[in-house]
């Protein structure tokens, strides 16, 4: 989903769990010395890629709501010798970070899971420094969806219960205070799981915005 072979080869194998829907680090234009927050960092793939871009002068903080993923990412960081990455347990609506403490927020296929997307984006706004930026890859819905209990959609049921369409998603970003919102890419989500009643109903979106 947007990663080069070189990028995949550069990170710990244990961070490759295939749960993303894009490559937000490719959008972010990360610079040496920046502090980056990865919301929903999972096993650490994007955090490790970001760590290489900001180099030893920068820092990456991954936050995930699942303790098992946080521990897995911490082990990978230790085994891979990453000195500028840390992983914290926390929720996207209540980030365990100080106000105005990061330069960049990235997130990969996570924000649309939040029941309250406004709260999630307001938290991203809170922790960003002035002129900071957010880069997200996510999935949004298009048109009328089949019921979540439709046979074959069990794996999507939890996500479908919280997911919203493109305009509502962008509106949550806008109402959180972000400006210069740009949809970098938006196309049907191409996945082996995308068949039957969900074909053309889920869109892969990549968005950048500024504080």
DSSP codes, 62-111: EEES-HHHHHHHHHHHHHHT-SSEEEEE-BTTB-SS-TT-EEEEEEES-G
Of all residues in the chain, the percent with pLDDT exceeding 90 is 61
Class of domain 5-135+166-183: alpha beta
Beta bridge partners of 105: 37, 134
pLDDT digits (tens, 9 = 90+) for 59-73: 999 999 999 999 999
**pTM (two decimals):** 0.89
Max Cα distance, the chain (Å): 50
Summarize pLDDT for 153-209 with one digit per residue, the tens.
666 667 777 889 999 999 999 999 999 999 987 776 666 555 566 666 788 899 999
What pLDDT is attached to residue 103? 98
Among 43, 20, 19, 33, smallest CA distance to 137 is for: 20
Instruction: Write down the pLDDT at residue 160.
Output: 72
Nearest to 169 by CA among 134, 207, 198, 127: 207
Backbone angle region of 79, left / alpha / beta, with phi > 0 → left and psi within -120 to 50 → alpha: alpha
Q: State residue 19's pLDDT score.
A: 58
Residue 58 pLDDT > 70: yes
């Amino acid at each position: 989903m947007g990663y080069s072979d070189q990028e995949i080869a550069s990170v710990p194998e244990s961070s490759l769990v295939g749960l993303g829907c894009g490559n937000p680090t490719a959008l972010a234009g990360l610079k040496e010395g920046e502090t980056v927050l990865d919301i929903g960092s999972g096993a650490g793939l994007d955090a490790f890629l970001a760590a290489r871009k900001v180099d030893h002068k920068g820092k990456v903080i991954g936050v995930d709501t699942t303790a098992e993923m946080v521990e897995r990412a911490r082990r990978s960081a230790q085994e891979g010798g990453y000195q500028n990455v840390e992983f914290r347990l926390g929720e996207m609506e209540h980030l365990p970070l100080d106000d105005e403490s990061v330069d960049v927020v990235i997130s990969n296929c996570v924000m649309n899971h939040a029941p309250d997307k406004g709260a999630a984006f307001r938290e991203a706004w809170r922790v960003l420094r002035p002129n900071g930026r957010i880069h997200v890859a996510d999935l949004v819905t298009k048109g009328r969806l089949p019921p979540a209990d439709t046979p074959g959609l069990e794996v999507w049921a939890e996500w479908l219960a919280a997911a919203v369409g493109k305009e509502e998603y962008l509106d949550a970003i806008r109402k959180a205070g972000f400006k210069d919102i740009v949809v970098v890419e938006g196309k049907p989500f191409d996945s082996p799981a995308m068949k039957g009643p969900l074909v053309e109903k889920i869109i892969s979106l990549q968005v950048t915005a500024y504080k």
